[in-house]
Chain A
Amino acid sequence: MKGLIEFIAKSLVDDPTEVRVTEHARRGHVRLELHVAEEDMGRVIGRNGRVANAMRALLRVVAAREGVKASLDIL
């Protein structure tokens, strides 16, 4: 899941070197945190959060297949 978000974020931002994804798993819940450069925040969030929500939609499918819940926070 981390790899998926990392790939998407790095492909969308202007500064891929600043992309960091951390993953915390606890009791069937995987929490992902995505960090990008300040100037790239808009690119990974999108208008009305559309990009972030699309990433969450893909994440949900992967999580369901692995039998866990997943969430994505952009910090």
Chain B
Amino acid sequence: MGELRTSLEVIAPTVEEAIAKGAAELHLPQEALEIEVLDEGSKGLFGLGTRQARVRLTVRTPAAEGAAPQVEQAPAAAGLSEEDSDALRVARETVSELLQRMGYETRVTAQWGEPSQPGGVRPLLVDVRGNDLSTLIGRRGETLAALQYITRLIVGKELRRPAAVVIDVEGYRERRERQLRRLARRMAEQAIESGRTMTLEPMPANERRIIHIELRDNPQVTTESVGEGDRRKVTIIPRSE
């Protein structure tokens, strides 16, 4: 599992540009790619209703070569059941469609992640790349959270089961996680030094979780979330001897 990035969806003004862009992204010649035109795009009437072209590029694998005719659907990444690759496709297409309608030019890929705890739900990781996507993240990730929430609903409805879609934009989640871990350690030190409880800014559940986990093994503090809804925040409490 993990490195199953064999398929890429690209949006550009024309089909040709989309293919060239995708090939460059994958560092592969166009001959090594299976090309599926998802949307030829449209110039619209008098500049109204223009739509960008959308293509899906799939890296040709030796197994897929020769055997399967080209018209067939992009081959499922190795070892994925039809259901699993279907879920990836739905997640990727939903996010692409939303972003296109929001006017962003992006590249969207999807893959299955590992459950955060043994026996947990496998997340559907959707990665969004492009230029100038900071507005898509928003203050404290608010816009990204809204996009993810709506995507989960749409994908869940389509698949007829809940979908644990996690969207990342330009590596934001990873950066944010590092930042939060640092913050957690620093605030823990302050709590220990001052002997007082430190209260962090309100955070969404996934961010609070990062703080709790980071300090779980610190014998000198305990952590606890307090407050309701949007105001819920983590407190770091020094342990008394």
The chain A residues found within 8 Å of chain B, CB to CB, are 3-4, 7-8, 11-12, 50-51, 53-55, 57-58, 60-62, 64-66
Contact = CB atoms under 8 A, between A and B. Distances in A.
Contacts of B138: 57, 61
A58 B153 contact: no
Given A54-B145, A61-B138, 4 more contacts: A8-B98, A12-B153, A57-B145, A65-B135
B54 to A, nearest CB: 14
Interface in B42-61: none
Nearest to B229: A48
A10 to B, nearest CB: 10
Contacts of A51: 149-150, 153
Contacts of B135: 61, 64-65
Contacts of B136: 61
A50 B149 CA distance: 9
B215 interface: no
Given A61-B135, A65-B135, A54 B102 contact: no
7 A-B pairs with least C-beta separation: A57-B146, A54-B146, A4-B101, A11-B154, A54-B149, A3-B101, A54-B150
A58 B143 contact: yes
A4 B153 contact: no
B17 to A, nearest CB: 22
B142 A57 contact: yes
B102 to A, nearest CB: 5
Interface string B6-47: 000000000000000000000000000000000000000000
Nearest to A48: B229
Contacts of B157: 11-12
A57 B153 contact: no
Nearest to A11: B154
B79 interface: no
14 contacts: A3-B101, A4-B98, A7-B101, A11-B157, A12-B157, A53-B146, A54-B149, A55-B150, A57-B142, A58-B146, A61-B136, A62-B102, A62-B103, A66-B103
B150 A58 contact: yes
A8 B150 CA distance: 8
Contact of A61 (B94, B97, B102): B102
A33 to B, nearest CB: 18
Contacts of A3: 101
B147 interface: yes
A69 to B, nearest CB: 15
B95 to A, nearest CB: 12
Contact of A7 (B97, B147, B153): B97
Interface in B143-185: 143, 145-147, 149-150, 153-154, 157-158
